[in-house]
Chain A
């Protein structure tokens, strides 16, 4: 399943500049709102699900080269955060759904963990 399909299936709002989402195939996911845990636990090409929306998420997402960040419960990053994400090539997606529901839906769509 590619990122374009995930965006459509979960009805996610794209906050950053459009990219070729159909060419991005996430290999797993990670969920936490503690950035230090994310730095230790998430990996490249994972989807990171969080309700944090402040600027520091971009540094962590860029560092790890995650496939995308899904920001839940309509938490809104400010303009500086979105600008920084565009600069770093980080994709920020938004949803009104809770982290619990997004994780469940991702798992159903087959985004689990690499073997």
Chain B
């Protein structure tokens, strides 16, 4: 078992709201500088830059997980994490079919760039990514779990698209293994504010849209850096665990 510092919520230039600096080599460089061992690339309803960041991290100390931040029809954001490119591809195909066929308007929402591992431009994603899919939260849990992935409600404390301010409660139907909190709240404050968290574990992420937004405060004890292992850590299985540590006691 090893202890790994993780930030599982990182955007790239494919997300219209991310800064232009969020290109693969700079994301990898910054994460490594901060001592982060594990990140997930989670663009809004999209995943076309995942492999570029994975290539950019090849040979470095950083492991990059495949992911997406999906928006449900309740306007709640969920992190979806996968171990394989095949799982991600299958999930992306479902999401593509569940996204409204609207064009992005870069002047209002921002540009959506697909890039290579050097950050060089490949194409512009024309579809509007910053909107809701037709999937309910129930369906996202069902589908992602069926694919062998992990779904976690993102920044549950945030007014815009966070689970608790948006919807208030959790459902028994969801296969909840934990919640993500934002950089702007501590685990203790989140647990006090949102009783529905109960005894489930928390992770904290940067929801990184700029290079200075990494949280680097979540530590997993895992046998290896995979989504499967993260699921075990969230369930507290076999000596695996997760903890959020603030800057002071890190």
Contact A39 B102 (CB under 8 A): yes
B136 within 8 A of partner (CB): no
Contacts of A59 in B (CB 8 A): 108-109, 130
Contact A54 B160 (CB under 8 A): yes
Majority-rule SS of B interface residues: loop
Per-position binary interface string of chain B over residues 66-81, scored 1 when its CB falls under 8 Å from any chain A CB and 0 otherwise: 0000010111000000
B238 within 8 A of partner (CB): no
A79 within 8 A of partner (CB): no
Contact B108 A63 (CB under 8 A): yes
Contacts of A56 in B (CB 8 A): 160
Complex CA gap A59/B130 in Å reads 11
| Number of residues on chain B facing chain A (CB within 8 A) | 14
Per-position binary interface string of chain A over residues 22-57, scored 1 when its CB falls under 8 Å from any chain B CB and 0 otherwise: 000000000000111001100000000000001110
Contact B159 A36 (CB under 8 A): no
Q: Per a CB cutoff under 8 Å, which of B75, B108, B109 touches A36?
A: B75
Select the residue from A36, A39, A59 with max chain B CB neighbours within 10 A.
A36
B205 within 8 A of partner (CB): no
Q: Per a CB cutoff under 8 Å, which of B105, B132, B159 touches A34?
A: B132
Contact B73 A36 (CB under 8 A): yes
Contacts of B159 in A (CB 8 A): 54
B245 within 8 A of partner (CB): no
- The residue of chain A having its C-beta at the shortest distance from the C-beta of B16 within the complex is A59
Q: How far in angstroms is the closest Cβ of chain A from B155?
A: 12
- The residue of chain A having its C-beta at the shortest distance from the C-beta of B73 within the complex is A36
- The residue of chain B having its C-beta at the shortest distance from the C-beta of A60 within the complex is B108
Knowing A34-B132, A35-B75, A56-B160 touch, does A40 contact B108 (C-beta < 8 A)? no
Contact B160 A55 (CB under 8 A): yes
Complex CA gap A39/B131 in Å reads 9
Per-position binary interface string of chain B over residues 134-176, scored 1 when its CB falls under 8 Å from any chain A CB and 0 otherwise: 0000000000000000000000000110000000000000000
Contact A36 B131 (CB under 8 A): yes
Contacts of A54 in B (CB 8 A): 159-160
Complex CA gap A44/B126 in Å reads 23
Contacts of A39 in B (CB 8 A): 102, 131
Contacts of A62 in B (CB 8 A): 108
Contacts of A35 in B (CB 8 A): 75, 131
Per-position binary interface string of chain B over residues 101-133, scored 1 when its CB falls under 8 Å from any chain A CB and 0 otherwise: 010010011000000000000000000001110
Knowing A59-B109, A62-B108, A63-B108 touch, does A36 contact B160 (C-beta < 8 A)? no
B100 within 8 A of partner (CB): yes
Knowing A34-B132, A55-B160, A63-B105 touch, does A40 contact B100 (C-beta < 8 A)? yes
Complex CA gap A36/B74 in Å reads 9
Complex CA gap A62/B131 in Å reads 15
Complex CA gap A40/B102 in Å reads 10
Q: How far in angstroms is the closest Cβ of chain A from B77?
A: 12
6 A-B pairs (CB sep. < 8 Å): A35-B75, A36-B71, A36-B73, A36-B132, A54-B160, A88-B108
Identify the A interface with B (CB < 8 A): 34-36, 39-40, 54-56, 59, 62-63, 88
The list of the 5 closest CB pairs from A to B, nearest first, reads A36-B132, A54-B160, A63-B108, A59-B108, A36-B131
Identify the B interface with A (CB < 8 A): 71, 73-75, 100, 102, 105, 108-109, 130-132, 159-160
